[in-house]
Structure 1
Amino acid sequence: MTPIDVLAHARALLLDFDGPVCSVFAGIPATTVADQLRDVLADGGHADLPEEVAMSADPFDVFRYAATLGNEEARYTEAAFTAHEVEAISSASPTESAHDLIRAWHASGRSLAIVSNNSTPAINAYLDLYDLRRSVDFVAGRTSPDATLLKPNSALLDQAIGALGVDRRESVFIGDSVSDIQAARAAEVRSIGYANKIGKQKHLRAAKADAITASLVGLAAVCR
């Protein structure tokens, strides 16, 4: 099945944020944010980190580890993470054709939500920056220090589907990670894997995405 086939039969479009909509850390590298979160943990007395956390370039790895240390650690690490994400929005790089897809889908009269492990304040800041808020019906982003609610858990997708009031069988989620596809399968939602980097197509296919695309160019035309 092609991405166009999947979209043609959908009444609701769910979009991951970092990747399908923009590159959040294009201007502020993710590894810099991960380092800053490690500094937050160190200030709280947690300098001796497992090697995989100490060496990771992914701030989500640091945040998920912080959540295992206790509620207080999770709260202050999540708050710092959100602040860094919001700061990064001014230098985030829009994904080619993503804005066209969002606006075209909205103009078609169908529902659209952003569903992301990124924080809701950061997502809203981006939508305001590019005047996209009127084209997005709902944002299901990170709003708490509870890391278990993030994808691959289906909680955020379930929240978006409930808010939109649509049938999950008529919804499609575009995401660029294996955890996105896993969350879509858990939510019983069709998925399009966005293989925006070399090697991703293989992993997204193995995760059983319903379709895969290397570009969003041309998808907006399906909505018109």
Structure 2
Amino acid sequence: MTGDANDHSTTRPTDAAASADSLRDLIGRARFVLFDFDGPICRLFARHSAARVARQQVDWLEEQGLHGLLADGVRDDPDPHSVLRAVDHRHPDSDLVAELEERLTREELKAVVSAWPTPYADALIRTWTAVGARLAIATNNSPRVAASYLTDRGLIDCFAPHIYGRTQDLHLLKPNPYCVNRALSAMGAHPSTALMIGDSPADYFAARDAGVEFLGYARNERKEGVLRGVGVGVVVGSLERVLECVK
């Protein structure tokens, strides 16, 4: 997710809590694998600051004389999705929401060129595809952004056409299971045969409500603690362990 994209902590979670048996069990049952995008596949805003994008959204609203739409906490929130959600709450399905969503998509597309690939993600995606799993993206980022990144990395054929992301119907963002259910339906997948890999509570809740098993990815102890706190049972600090199991 974008809100803490500029958290540069390098402390790794202790993977001991994610037992090898639990991990193998999750992976062994998965015939369909749904990836969140920003986190498990890359750090989209590694160099193109998400906080700065959020600030630009707030500034743009103020220029339109609409600063009153945002509460103080939202004005200072580093996650651009918080601004979108706040405006959509006040003016759902409006031209204003459509404009803000498109402005965010343009900033995400700029961020693609400097995104950091998540270690082992490319190899994991290619290996899982090679052994017969079908893959999809279920993200709160724009699907155009995910497709652009995957194309640049030579990974688009592992996912296309199953890339599901943000629309202008912002109430359908995760934790709503909408994009997860879209992926399952399009691939003809029963939830019991699918696995979602994500790095946020919203990912977990969306998977849970769709009846899909969940594997947490946490690149530092803080993110692991957040996932553990909402009930995620299996969390890895590196996709290397997942790759080893798939192999």
Which band: TM-score by shorter chain?
Answer: over 0.9
Letter in 1 for 2:141: N
1:69 and 2:69 correspond: no
**Percent of aligned pairs with the same residue?**
35
Structure (1/2) with the larger strand percentage: 1
Give 3-state SS (helix, strand or coil) of 1:219's partner.
helix
Provide the residue aligned with 2:140 in structure 1.
Answer: 117
Residues 18-167 of structure 1: pairs in structure 2 closer than 5 A: 18-48=38-68, 49-70=70-91, 71-137=94-160, 138-142=162-166, 144-167=167-190
Structure 1 runs (4+) deviating above 6 angstroms are: none
Task: Give me the whole-angstrom Cα distance separating, in 1, the residues matched to 2:23 and 2:221.
Answer: 19
Cα deviation, 1:95-138, whole Å, max 9, x if unaligned, reads 00011111111111111001100001110110111110111141
**Secondary structure at the counterpart of residue 151 of structure 1:** coil
Which residue type is aligned with residue 41 of structure 2? Answer: V
Residues 144-181 of structure 1: per-residue CA shift (max 9 Å, x gap): 22211000000010001111111111100011001111
Question: Which residue number corresponds to residue 32 of structure 2?
Answer: 12
- In structure 1, the gaps of 5 or more residues are none
Task: Kindly indicate whether residue 213 of structure 2 is the aligned counterpart of residue 187 of structure 1.
Answer: no
Give the Cα separation in 2 of the matches to 1:175 and 1:106: 18
Aligned-pair CA distance for 1:202: 2.6
Letter in 1 for 2:178: A
Secondary structure at the counterpart of residue 179 of structure 2: helix
Offset of 1:212 from its aligned partner?
A: 1.1
Taking the aligned partners of 1:194 and 1:110, their CA distance within structure 2 comes to 19
Match of 1:207 in 2: 230
The aligned amino acid for 1:124 is A
| Alignment-mate amino acid for residue 2 of structure 1 | S
Distance (whole Å) between structure 2 residues aligned to residue 16 and residue 201 of structure 1: 16
SS of residue paired to 1:172:
strand
Q: Show structure 2 runs of 5+ residues with no match.
A: 1-20
Tell me, in whole angstroms, the C-alpha distance in 2 between the residues paired with 1:59 and 1:23. 15
Counterpart code for 1:176:
D
Alpha-carbon RMSD = 1.3
The one-letter amino acid paired with 1:75 is A
Distance in 1, matches of 2:192 and 2:233, equals 13
Contact 1:41-1:77 at 8 Å conserved across structures: no
Query: TM-score, structure 1 length as denominator?
Result: 0.95
SS of the residue 2:219 aligns to: coil
- Return closer, same or farther for 1:122/1:33 CA change in 2, 3 Å cut-off: same
Shift of 1:43: 3.0
- Structure 1 residues 15, 125: CA separation in 2 closer, same or farther (over 3 Å shift)? same
